[in-house]
Amino acid sequence: MRMRILTLNVWNTEGDPRRAEIINHGLRQLKPDLIALQEVVQTAKAKTLDGLLVGLALQATHQADVEQSVPPFSERYGGTAVATRWEHEIVEVLDLRLAGANDVPWATLAAVVKIPDVGEMLFIAPTAAWRLSAEAVRERQAIAVADLDARHRRDLPTIIAGDFNTGPDAASIRYLTGKQSLEGRSVLYHDSWTVAGKGPGHTWSTENPNTRTGVDQIVRQPEYHNRFDYVFVGSWDAHPKAHARVLSADLAFEQPIAGIWASDHFGVVVDLEVGLA
């Protein structure tokens, strides 16, 4: 069967208040089946997730719905959420506030999605450490995400979709895509953009005016362009009984609507053909 995956960092509640409506409009047009959202502020006062998904008939879970405690800074910088067209069950919430990233409120959600007539699929939605200098932390986080998959994977290839806050040449991404080992270990997930994307696929770029504020704060160079957001697909050796072939990979929300940019990130939307053997 054909399936559409989307990941988007929604940039908490910064910027124009109409952004949530624009994201909702874009999601209605794209009609994804599995969605990973980052920096979603979901509190008693600000139920951002509800507005983002209104009218989409999706089952949604925010980390605030399932985590045992509320991490610091989550009211400001939000948390991770998943939404699926079919029923899902959260099987683990992974706290990745490791040494060197104690100020990161974003948990990683692992959801088992029950896909009719095909089977169960593990859908993992991470957000990695944001400081450009924190690659050592992201390496440990990448290992933790791969271990999370190993604990819960199903026959259908695992999908990992999220904001990894670093480019394809970083060690954490190279580890996930089988290009290098970390701590004497190796794994392999297919980077959907490498398989089927066109062009550099930059998702955090000063081409987006919303991104310039962050670049001015943490890069402090006039121009910056990188690919931070990924959809990874589990490989054959971990899923010998099934397949998930990447048919296309494109940017989403990469243009303004009525002069308003949806976020400070561009999203990634991927079409897969999923089946047994």
Predicted pLDDT of residue 201: 98
pLDDT of residue 97: 86
101 or 145: which carries more pLDDT confidence?
Answer: 145
Does position 48 have pLDDT exceeding 80, yes or no? yes
Identify the H or E element spanning 270: strand 267-276
The pLDDT of residue 74 is 85
3-class secondary structure, 34: strand
- pLDDT bin (cut points 50, 70, 90) of residue 126 is very high
Q: Which carries the bigger pLDDT value, residue 158 or residue 74?
A: 158
Predicted local confidence at residue 72, as pLDDT: 81
Tokens of 171: 């060690």
208-219 pLDDT, tens digit per residue, is 999 999 999 999
% residues pLDDT > 70 (the chain): 100
Provide mean pLDDT across the span 128-146. 96
Of 41-45, 145-149, 223-227, the range with the lowest mean pLDDT is: 41-45
Mean pLDDT across 236-244: 97
- pLDDT in the model for residue 127: 95
Residue 135's pLDDT band, with cuts at 50, 70 and 90, is very high
**CATH hierarchy code of domain 2-276:** 3.60.10.10
pLDDT in tens, 51-69: 999 999 999 999 999 988 8
Q: Quick one: average pLDDT of 119-140?
A: 96
Sign of CA dihedral 208, 263, 104, 165: negative
The pLDDT, as a whole number, for residue 69 is 81
Work out the percent of the chain whose per-residue pLDDT is above 90: 90
- How would residue 95 be classed by pLDDT, with cut points 50, 70 and 90? very high
pLDDT greater than 90 at residue 102? no
User: Using CA of residue 88, residue 9, residue 142, residue 4, what is the dihedral sign?
Assistant: positive
pTM of the model: 0.97
Residues comprising the chain, all counted: 277
Decide: helix, strand or coil at residue 22: helix
Closest Cα partner for 36 from 77, 4, 7, 65?
A: 7
